[in-house]
Amino acid sequence: MRPDPSMPFSAVMQDAADALEAELDAYMVEGNRITRDLYRGLAMPWDVEKDLGFDRESFRRVEWATAWEGGEVRPMDEFFAPVSQAGGVVGASPGTVTAAAPSGPPKITTEIMEMMMSTGSPVIRWREAHPELVGTEQDVVRKFRRVVEKCLVDAAMGLDEVKGGLTGVMLLVKKK
């Protein structure tokens, strides 16, 4: 998770996100680490002895929100499309895929942010290990949410103005 650099107190929020990630580290498994590293360590079909019929030359790696320019990540509006409350891309026709959003990253509430972050498997494992803390102010995600809320309040912003995103990657390869 990374707050949009244009948000007030984004450095404080990023420190809190880093602390959350550190607290969850003990609850990550190999699959979480591979995805966190954007599949850089994932074995590819041509890495095995048996020919699986994939064309190595067709391989493409497409990353979102990972390129650095002058020490800063490129603006997230290059990577995210606003999503409506109903789950569809705002302004898109049914069946279309929107890769960029000229209006910038979507804003969500801190409640939605907490709900989304609660679906991560390291969070689920942390909560299984600490059932007495789930739903309390000591919950691993709730602590992060409170830091973000304090930043928003200190910046005189509403709690429905969280902007941020996740890095992403898509691996593409054709069959021979």
92, pLDDT greater than 60? no
* Residue 144 to residue 138: CA distance in whole angstroms: 10
85, pLDDT greater than 50? no
Percent of the chain topping pLDDT 90:
40
Which sequence spans correspond to the domains of the chain? Answer: 2-70+107-175
pLDDT of residue 91: 39
What does pLDDT average to over the chain? 79
pLDDT of residue 107: 75
40, pLDDT greater than 50? yes
pLDDT band at 82 (very low <50, low <70, confident <90, very high): very low
Residues sharing a CB contact under 8 Å with residue 131, sequence separation 6 or more, in sequence order:
none
Please state, in angstroms and as integers, the Cα–Cα distance from residue 161 to each residue in 92, 105, 127, 164, following that order: 22, 11, 27, 10
On whether the CB atoms of residues 137 and 128 are closer than 8 A, the answer is: no
On whether the CB atoms of residues 4 and 164 are closer than 8 A, the answer is: yes
* Tokens 């599949």, residue located: 39
pLDDT band at 89 (very low <50, low <70, confident <90, very high): very low
Q: What is the mean pLDDT of residues 86-91?
A: 40
Tell me the per-residue pLDDT of 128-168, one tens digit each, with 9 for 90 and over: 999 999 999 999 999 999 999 999 999 998 877 787 766 77
pLDDT of residue 78: 44
Write down the pTM of the prediction: 0.69
For residue 15, give the 3-state DSSP assignment. helix
